[in-house]
């Protein structure tokens, strides 16, 4: 498994994506692992979620909270002819 510091990652995101083609890349923050970058194919193989719709329905994503405000008709205006 390859490792990059968060500074290296922010300075060379394209390089990190290229490294991820060969396997997961561990991103460290102050010397401790903090994130893992992997290809979508690797992720779906590990999680069992095939496409983006399946991934959003997976149990791992069911607890994602959203603070999206309701529009409550702000943009809904009757059409004038």
Residue 38 within any structural domain of the chain: yes
Q: pTM of this prediction? A: 0.58
Output the domain CATH number for residue 42: 3.40.1620.10
Residue 66 within any structural domain of the chain: no
Residue 40 has a pLDDT of: 87
13-71: per-residue pLDDT in tens? 999 999 999 999 999 999 999 999 999 888 888 877 766 676 666 665 555 565 656 55
Distance CA 46, CA 48 (A): 6
Residue 47 within any structural domain of the chain: yes
The total of other beta-carbon atoms located within 10 Å of residue 4's CB is 21
Question: For residue 16, what are the domain limits?
Answer: 2-58
């Amino acid at each position: 498994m390859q490792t990059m510091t968060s500074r290296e990652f922010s300075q060379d995101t394209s390089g990190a994506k290229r490294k991820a083609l060969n396997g997961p890349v561990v991103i460290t923050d102050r010397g401790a692992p903090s994130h893992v970058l992997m290809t979508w194919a690797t992720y779906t193989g590990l999680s069992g979620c095939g496409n983006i719709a399946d991934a959003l329905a997976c149990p791992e994503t069911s607890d994602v909270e959203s603070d999206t405000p309701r529009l409550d008709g702000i943009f809904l205006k009757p059409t004038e002819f």
